Amino acid sequence: MYTQEITVNNEVGLHARPATYFIQKANEFKSGIWVEKEERRVNAKSLLGVLSLGIVQGTTITLIADGSDQEEAVKALADLIENNFGE
């Protein structure tokens, strides 16, 4: 299992379009991937799950992956967040 904490800094947080980019990236990997905010953990490959966390600008989340490409998956998702989802 590989984890990394990261703060979402883009203006709208993880909603609609950024969440779609996030889920598309997560689906490129074989590992199970989760997003954790406070005590809630959801599947990072589920749009409704990710949106249900209500991640806004300045929210710190934990990315968790478990599988053959776990480290690569977490790093790719962290890079996407750090680069404000390419916006």
Contact 8, 78 (CB under 8 A): no
Q: Active site includes 50? A: no
Instruction: List all residues 6 or more positions away from 73 whose beta carbon is below 8 Å from its beta carbon.
Output: 2, 26, 28, 29, 31, 33, 65, 67
Contact 1, 73 (CB under 8 A): no
Q: Of the listed 15, 47, 75, 78, which one is catalytic?
A: 15
Q: So which residues are the catalytic ones?
A: 15
